[in-house]
Amino acid sequence: MTALSIPTPKITSSLNSDNSSSPPEVEKKYKMIAEDVTIRYGDFIGVKNITMKFPEKSVTALIGPSGCGKTTFLRCLNRMHDMTKNAKVEGRVMIDEIDLYDKSIDPIYHRRKVGMVFQKPNPFPTMSIYDNVTAGLKLNGVRDKKILDEIVEDSLKMAYLWDEVKSDLKKSAIELSGGQQQRLCIARALAIQPEVLLMDEPASALDPIATQKIEETITELKKEYTIIIVTHNMQQAVRVSDYTGFMYLGELIEFRETKKLFTDPKNELTAKYVQGQFG
Ligand SMILES: Nc1ncnc2c1ncn2[C@@H]1O[C@H](COP(=O)(O)OP(=O)(O)OP(=O)(O)O)[C@@H](O)[C@H]1O
């Protein structure tokens, strides 16, 4: 994809403590590390002291029963809680060597490195397919039509939507099917060239065929991106992820290679959850 030229802020801190919560079988480098993260909504603690290391170019799934804090945790990975009035995040989230929460960094610059895809497809409804993909780029000052055209094509190809829409990029985004809209949202997230992609139940509003396309897209994208996905669907976690973290009541209970977590869980709670004894 055409590389964007955006100024790099100074690096302010570094880390590599190797204490816990990394899947033990990993040979890859870690792209992102959440360290001692606690998230409160007023007096309520939504996430308790989670340390989690995300291997690069792989998919990590977050699973657990409703209300256990999956979305709350995911949202801290790109500082989305900055926009939630009563939320307070403690701890550190490192991308490469930079703490996203360090007071001296530019949060807008660093948030760009972490793309987000939400549960319900949310294309900008009054915009065309083309304008949806270029919206973030234009906000970042990219105006060159040739560069925009190239990035639109590259992003739509990476999201596995190009062949279905290339002949009519001016069509309104809301004329696409739900599954196509979700792949458009993935293309929109990829257009600003993030390094990490967060996905919050990206297929839960979709039918089985659209879900399969999204899962195939995720499998292809992990060749280039580090992906963290929240899912309710355990089969989906097994199909798409390399590593899985099981959360319960705001805590990370177990974090391992997906196959091992599902076939040989170490924790009794994990075992009960993956066997469907509670949900
Ligand atoms: N803005 C908020 N203010 C207060 N409490 C909140 C807020 N957002 C979430 N919570 C609470 O934090 C806890 C964790 O919620 P969260 O949405 O992260 O869980 P989840 O595991 O993603 O659930 P689900 O699978 O149902 O989406 C819940 O008890 C929820 O009610």
Each residue's pLDDT tens digit, 2-23: 555 433 333 333 333 333 466 6
Count structural domains, the chain.
Answer: 1
234 pocket-lining for ligand 1 (C-beta < 6 Å): no
Task: List beta partners, residue 115.
Answer: 197
Q: Is residue 43 in contact with ligand 1, taking CB distance under 6 Å?
A: no
pLDDT computed for residue 173 by the predictor: 98
Instruction: Identify which of 39, 43, 44, 88 to mutate to test ligand 1's pocket (most ligand atoms within 8 A of the CB).
Output: 44
In a domain, 24, yes or no: no
Tell me the C-alpha distance between 90 and 144, whole Å: 40
Note whether residue 86 is domain-resident.
Answer: yes
Residues of the chain with pLDDT under 50: 5-20
pLDDT in tens, 45-98: 999 999 999 999 999 999 999 999 999 999 999 999 998 999 999 999 999 888
Q: Whose CA is nearest to atom 5 of ligand 1?
A: 41
**Would 72 be classed as within a structural domain?**
yes
pLDDT of residue 26: 66
The verdict on residue 153 lying in a domain is yes
pLDDT at 65: 96
Task: Kindly give, in sequence order, each residue whose CB lies less than 8 Å from that of residue 145, ignoring residues fewer than 6 positions away.
Answer: none
How far apart, in whole angstroms, are the C-alpha atoms of residue 244 and residue 59? Answer: 8
CA distances for 163 relative to 66, 160, 175, 185, 191, angstroms = 37, 7, 16, 16, 17
- 166 in a structural domain: yes
188 domain-assigned = yes
- Residue 13's pLDDT is what? 32
- Does the beta carbon of 86 lie inside 6 Å of ligand 1? yes
Q: What is the pLDDT of residue 24?
A: 62
CATH code of the domain covering residue 61 = 3.40.50.300
Residue 112: the pLDDT is 85
Q: Evaluate: CB of 67 within 6 angstroms of ligand 1.
A: yes
Among the atoms of ligand 1, which is closest to the Cα of residue 72? 18
Range of the domain at 238: 30-275
Burial category of 237 from C-beta neighbours within 10 Å (exposed 0-12, middle 13-18, buried 19 and up): buried
- CA distance linking residue 223 with residue 57, whole number of Å: 6
Does residue 22 lie in a domain region? no
Which residues lie below 8 Å from residue 97, measured CB to CB, with a gap of 6+?
11, 13, 14, 15
For position 196, what pLDDT does the model report?
A: 96
ipTM over 0.90: yes
16 is a domain residue = no
Answer yes or no: is the C-beta of 68 below 6 A from any ligand 1 atom.
yes
